[in-house]
Structure 1
């Protein structure tokens, strides 16, 4: 039985990873800022931006493996990309026992998307992991879907529901290959049972690629709605997005806009073969996601 500390355990992905690890018989401690239990996993207070908090949590658990899932998609106050993704990872790496496994959740396109601090800091965190001297594995998921997800269950749902017409960014051809939260959880748990996963970086993507326009159509169909889709030229979006940042809660941040234009797709066959992933299909799950069932 492996003793595992999961950071970000109370989040959307964290809950799925904790459940998968428990199902495989591991001893799991759920790390989060409030220290709540997650399922049958005992909770521990762990704020990755506070090195003292990290040292106390790791010392209390004495883990054989650390699964690092903490991340943010938008900056708020002192919770910046650099502070959470880079410094948070640095604190956790320094506290992790030298003989422990370190499984790190990065993001597809980490360090590769111009104009995105999210992408830049994800790339910087990866570099820290690779230089740590620990027994590491890095995962780079695409958009993650599942019950309670933020993108398909909220952002895209609001986009297609808010107005009589659905705004489409540019020509809508940006490619995406969403992956299910169950596939992501199985990959993380499977890596603990696969020594040859050490020192490897795996892309986590689903079985099918969609354009942004196709995602809008799928979302509308799942909601049982029919609306016209109105393309918004990138030249207009380039002017509008900076102005949106003056709003208290902008509908899209600069980082999100940069990442949408870049798309989010890559082959995922290596991870599927390595960890025996079932490769759930977005279109099969979307109705229950948008309806909150």
Structure 2
């Protein structure tokens, strides 16, 4: 089965490509550079350019399209609107009418969200549901695995930089991280068949953690002992905007808004429908942050 994957060079994209190839599919890996990897054919694909999308679809003749492209922070012309909303519009328009379409959204996506990221993801979902295609939407929570951005970079830097670990507010915001292997399995199963047709699924792991518990797990995996110091939300509300003048702020306004909202949902029905193994964060975290672990770039696929 010919399957086109957008954002194939990213953290999740590489895992999805490997899973699809392992299942015997003919995979076309779309990315702006057009790299071929993991037994897939490379294709140049820029979702912000409708002509680029059309050429990639014509070259791959897909029976299924897996759309994974996303950004976690806006940079120059790469805005949430342009990448998430307009990019999705271009991919939907080019997807053959009889093809399966599997869409990467995010847990908490909704059009009225205070987060620009979540709001744009919600508007993209609306386009998918109105497309008339044979779609499935996945809404992952924080995704963990070797090479991930949140646990491998953001949280690692947060607990490693200063003598104390800053905790946002009371640290009670809930999260239910999901393993990248489970995410890849869900996408591959949906792309390769009729499971989950025209439905939306939260992708979450087996256990819920508070933000403070995630900090404690990160410290434990790194073998560090440091005090965790709560930072009142009133102070964070003042500090985060000031951080934006830095060339690379430790946290963006958007990431701060999403952290305060939390990121959790039950793992059913996705766990049963797609036969997910439910990797545990604490079993994989030492591989993510330990010696020799790959250091991710500060973007998502």
Sort the TM-score into its range (normalised by shorter chain): over 0.9
User: Who is 2:226 aligned against?
Assistant: 227
Q: Identify the range of structure 1 (239-248 vs 166-175) with the bigger mean alpha-carbon deviation.
A: 239-248
Using the alignment, how far apart are the partners of 1:112 and 1:170 within structure 2?
26
The two structures have a TM-score, normalised by structure 1, of 0.98
Q: Which has the higher contact order (CA 8 A, sep 6+)?
A: 2
User: Who is 2:162 aligned against?
Assistant: 163
> 1:100-115, aligned counterparts within 5 Å?
100-111=99-110, 114-115=113-114
For residues 18-61 of structure 1, what are the alpha-carbon distances to aligned partners after superposition, in whole Å with 9 as ceiling and x for unaligned? 00001111110000000000211010000000011111111111
Call closer, same or farther: CA 1:133–1:149 in 2, change over 3 Å. same
User: Who is 2:297 aligned against?
Assistant: none
CA contact (8 A) 2:65 2:191 kept: no
SS of alignment partner, residue 29 of structure 2: strand
Structure 1 unaligned regions, length at least 5: none
Using the alignment, how far apart are the partners of 1:131 and 1:281 within structure 2?
35
| CA RMSD, Structure 1 to Structure 2 (Å) | 0.9
The two structures have a TM-score, normalised by structure 2, of 0.96
Deviating beyond 4 angstroms after TM superposition, the runs of 4 or more aligned structure 1 residues are none
Query: Aligned residues, how many?
Result: 292
Using the alignment, how far apart are the partners of 2:207 and 2:193 within structure 1?
26
User: Who is 1:195 aligned against?
Assistant: 194
User: Who is 1:48 aligned against?
Assistant: 47
SS of alignment partner, residue 269 of structure 2: helix
1:197 positional shift: 1.2
Using the alignment, how far apart are the partners of 2:134 and 2:59 within structure 1?
21
1:115 positional shift: 2.1
Structure 2 unaligned regions, length at least 5: 294-301
SS of alignment partner, residue 224 of structure 2: coil
CA contact (8 A) 1:9 1:18 kept: yes
> 1:58-77, aligned counterparts within 5 Å?
58-77=57-76
Using the alignment, how far apart are the partners of 1:125 and 1:114 within structure 2?
13
